[in-house]
Chains A and B, each alone.
Chain A
Amino acid sequence: MTARNAPLRAPTDWTSPAMAARVAARYRGERLFRLAGLGALCLAGLFLAFLLFTIVRTGWSGFQHSEVRVTVAFDAPALGIDPVVARGPAGVEAIRRADFNALMQRSAAAQLGPAADVVSEGAWLALRAAVLADRGVLGQTRTLWVPVRSSIDLIAKGKFDLDAPEVSRGVSNEDIADYRYLAARGLIRTDFNEIFVSAANSTDPELAGIWGAALGSLLTLLVTIAAAFPVGVLAAVWLEEFAGRSRWTDFVEVSISNLAAVPSIIFGLLGLAVFLNVFNMPRSAPLVGGLTLALMTLPVIVITARAAIRSVPGSVRDAALGIGASPIQVIFHHVLPLALPGIMTGTIIGMARALGETAPLLLIGMRAFVADAPHGLTSSATVLPVQIFLWSDDAQRGFVEKTSAAIIVLLVILLLMSSVALYLRNRFEKRA
C-alpha cells in the first residue's frame, strides 16, 4: 500500500439514509412539477370549455328565430303590379316599387286578430322575396311564415320569466298576451334563422344579420394579405439575403421589432392620417381597413419570414450556388420553397390577429351603421369584431343572442382559417 493509493476521503455510501432521503426528495419534486403542469393545463382547458359553453349557450338561439303564419293573397292590381310587366325585363323594378308593406299589414290584421302587431316591421321583405323568386305567385294565395318582432321572438325562446312582475320582467303584458294568443292557435313556430346568415346589420334585432360583417371581414382580409404578404416576404428576403450587416440594417431590424409591439390602435391613427387624410380614400371601406391592418401585420410577417429564411440550411444555398445558380435562382428555387411553411405560419398568425382586430378599424370609420352587405372594396362595410362590439353595446335585449352568435361565427371562421393553414403547411412540408 503506497501513499498514492491511499483514499483521499471515505468512499461514498450510496445506500445511506441521507442519500435515500435525497433521492426521495428528487422524486417528490419531479412528481410535484408534473402535477403542477397538468393542473395548469386542466385550468386552461376549463376556462376554454367554460368560454365555449357560455358563448354557445347564449348564441345558439341567435341562429333561430320565431315566425308567424300568415296567408297572403298576392293580388297584383292591389299591389300596383301589372302581371305582364312583372314577367318582363322591367319586372324586378316594378316589384321593388310595389307596396308589400301594406299587403303585409292587411293580411296580418285580418288573420292574427289582436296579435296583428307581432309581425316584424321588415316582414314584408319575405313577401317581396317570394314574388321575386317566383312571379307565378302573383294572383295566387300563399301561406307564408314571416318573422315576428324581437320581443315576441324572445318570449318564444323562453328568455323571459313570464311569471315575474311586469316592471322587472323586461317585456310587456301585451306582448305576452299576443304570444299566448298565437301559441294557442299554432300560428307561431321557431325555425332556422335564414335572415341572420344572409342579411347585414339592422336596427331591429330580428332583421339583423351577420353576412354583411362576414363579407366585410373577408374583403378586408383579402386586401390585408394581398398587401402584407408580398411586401413582407420581399422585405424579409432583402434583409436576409442582400442587405448584409450594417448599422443601417441593425436600425431597420430594431424598428421592425418595435413596430410589431406597437398597440394596434396606433396603426388606426396612422391609417386615418395616411389613407383617409392624405390619399382621400373612402371611409369605412374594406380597402382602407385592409391596408391599415396590413401595416399592423407587416412586422409580424417580416419577422417570421426572416426566421424561416434563416432556418434554411446553408448547405442548400451552397449546393445551388455550387452548380451555378444565380442569387435570385437560389432564393426562388430553393430558399423560399423551404421557408414557405414557416412564412405561412407567420402569415396565418398575422391574419388571425387582423381578423380579430377592432381598435384600428374604429378609427377609420368602420364602426358606422351599415345596413347593406358591401358590394366591393370601396363600399361601406363593417367587420365581424366591430359588429360584435356594436351589438354588445346595443340596448335592445334581442342583440344579446346576436352578439354571441356573431362570436360563434367569428370563432368558426378563425378555426377554418387555421385548419386551412395547417393543411397547406403540412402539404408544403411534405413536398419539401
Chain B
Amino acid sequence: MNQPTPKLTARNLNVFYGAKQAIKNVSIDISREHVTALIGPSGCGKSTFLRCFNRMNDTIDGARVTGEIRLDGRDINGADMDVVQLRARVGMVFQKPNPFPKSIYENVAYGPRIHGLAAGRPDMDRLVEEALRRAGLWDEVRDRLGDSGTTLSGGQQQRLCIARAIAVDPEVILMDEPCSALDPVATAKIEELIDDLRGRYAIVIVTHNMQQAARVSQRTAFFHLGAMVEYGDTSMIFTNPVQARTKDYITGRYG
C-alpha cells in the first residue's frame, strides 16, 4: 500500500472566537485525488474549519487559530507563506453565489489579472474561455460575456464563481455549502461539475445535505460540536460508521 502524500494536513487545530472555542483539536489529511466532504449539524464548526485552509478566518475580528495547517508540507501560517498567494492556490466558493457586480468576462478575468497570469488580451480571452468551459458555463454565456454577472440565474452565478476560482489555477478548491441556495436542478449541475473537477483539484466541500456528501465525495469527515468525530471513506461512513454519534446523525436521529 503506498499512501499518497496528502495535499493538505491539519494538526491539532483549534479555533477560538473570543472566549468561545469553535474547533477543538482537529487533525486531518486531505488528499489530492479525492473530494472530501465535511458534514455535521448546523453550528458544528465545519465552515469555520474550512475557512482555516485559506486563512479567511484572518478577516474575522476576534478569531484566533492555533495548531498547524500544511499545504504540500509547508506551514500556511508560516512567515514564508504569503496569504494573498495562498488564497490564489486555495480557491474558495461561498455559500451564497457572490459574483462581482461586473461583467461575466471581468468576473473570471479579475483573478488572473491581479496575479498577472495572462499576457495580453488574446491570452486572457483563452484563459476566460477555458475557465468557463471547465465550469460548464461557456455554452450558456458565450454570447453575453459583457452582461453583468448578477443577471445570471442562481445556479449559473455559482458556476461563474467556480469558474472565477478555477481561473487563477488553484490547487485546492474549498466549497462552503455551494448548493444550499440553489434549486435541485442547479444543484445537480454543480454536483456533476464537482465530479468533473475531481482529480484536477483537491476539493473540500462543506454540506449539510448528507445525500450530497454521499453522491459527490470519496472521503467524509463528520463534525459535531467543534470536534471531528469520525473521518474515513464515504462509503464506510454512510454504511458502517464506527462512532455511535455518526450513526445517529447519518440515520437522522438528530441534527
B99 within 8 A of A: yes
**B88 partner, pick from A315, A323, A334, beta carbons under 8 A:** A323
Say whether, besides A244-B61, A323-B164, A318 and B94 are in contact (CB < 8 Å).
yes
Assess whether B87 is interfacial by the CB under 8 Å rule: yes
B111 and A323 contacting across the interface, CB-CB below 8 Å: yes
A residues neighboring B (CB under 8 Å) = 244-245, 313, 315-326, 329, 333-334, 338, 432
Chain A residues positioned under 8 Å from B56 (CB to CB): 318, 321-322
Interface residue? B189 (CB, 8 A) = no
In the complex, the answer to whether A319 meets B100 with C-beta atoms within 8 Å is: yes
Return A223 CB to nearest CB of chain B, in Å: 34
- B61, B91, B98, B114: the one contacting A315 at CB < 8 Å is B98
- B101/A326 in contact, CB under 8 A: no
Please state if A432 and B91 are interface contacts (CB–CB under 8 Å). no
Q: Are B100 and A316 in contact (CB under 8 A)?
A: yes
Q: Given A245, A322, A329, which contacts B94 in the complex, CB threshold below 8 Å?
A: A322
Known: A319-B98, A319-B100. A325 touches B165 (CB 8 A): no
Asked whether B101 lies within 8 Å of A322 as measured between CB atoms, the reply is no
Number of interface residues, chain B, beta carbon within 8 A: 26
5 pairs, CB–CB < 8 Å, chain A vs chain B = A245-B61, A319-B100, A323-B91, A323-B114, A324-B85
Measured CA separation A104–B198 after assembly (Å): 96
Q: How many Å lie between the Cα of A322 and that of B164 in the bound state?
A: 10
Residues of A with C-beta under 8 A to B69: none
- B96 at the A interface (CB under 8 A): yes
Binding site for A on B (CB under 8 A): 54, 56, 59, 61, 84-88, 91-92, 94, 96, 98-101, 110-111, 114-115, 161, 164-165, 167-168
Which listed residue, A316, A324, A329, touches B98 by the CB 8 Å rule?
A316
Contacting pair A329 B92 (CB below 8 A): no
Measured in the bound complex, the distance between the Cα atoms of B84 and A320 in whole Å is 10
> Which residue of chain A has the shortest Cβ distance to B166 in the bound complex?
A323
Asked if B87 and A315 sit within 8 Å, CB to CB, the answer is no
- Docked Cα-Cα span, A317 to B92, in Å, equals 13
Residues of A within 8 A of B99 (CB): 319
Contact across chains for A322 and B54 when beta carbons are under 8 A apart: yes
Closest B residue to A329 by CB, please name it. Answer: B114
Given A245-B61, A316-B100, A432-B101, A324 contacting B168 (CB threshold 8 A): yes
How distant is B205 from chain A, measured CB to nearest CB, in Å? 15
Task: Specify the chain A residue showing the minimal Cβ separation from B87.
Answer: A324
Complex formed: what's the CA distance from A432 to B101 in Å?
6
Which of B84, B110, B111, B161 is within 8 Å of A326, CB to CB? B84
Q: CB < 8 Å: which of B91, B96, B115, B167 contacts A322?
A: B91
How far is B98's CA from A319's CA once the two chains are assembled, in angstroms? 6
- Does B101 contact A338, Cβ atoms closer than 8 Å? yes
With CB as the reference atom, state the residue of chain A lying closest to B86: A324
Distance between Cα atoms of A318 and B85 in the complex (Å) = 15
CA distance A230 to B89 in the complex (A): 35
Query: Among B86, B92, B114, B167, which residue has its beta carbon within 8 angstroms of that of A325?
Result: B114
Expressed in whole angstroms, the Cα–Cα distance for A67 and B165 within the complex equals: 75
Chain B nearest CB, measured from A292 CB (Å)? 38
Chain A: minimal CB distance from B135 (Å)? 14
- Do residues A322 and B165 form an inter-chain contact, with CB atoms below 8 A? yes
* Cα of A400 to Cα of B114 in the assembled complex, Å: 62
Q: Give 15 A-B pairs besides A321-B59, A323-B88, A324-B86 with Cβ atoms closer than 8 angstroms.
A: A315-B94, A315-B98, A316-B100, A316-B101, A317-B59, A318-B92, A319-B161, A322-B94, A324-B85, A324-B87, A324-B168, A325-B84, A325-B114, A338-B101, A432-B101
Interchain CA distance A334-B110 in the complex, whole Å: 11
B114 contacts A324, CB within 8 Å?
yes
Shortest CB distance B232–A (Å): 29
From A244, A323, A334, A432, residue with most partner B Cβ within 10 Å? A323
CA–CA, A319 and B94, complex, Å: 8
Q: Which residue of B lies closest to A245 (CB)?
A: B61
Known contacts A321-B87, A324-B84, A324-B88: A315-B59 contact under CB 8 Å: no
* B residues in contact with A313, CB < 8 Å: 98
Instruction: For the complex, give the distance between the alpha carbons of A315 and B101 in Å.
Output: 11
A-B pairs, top 9 by smallest CB distance, nearest first, are A324-B88, A315-B98, A322-B92, A324-B87, A323-B111, A319-B98, A324-B84, A326-B84, A432-B101
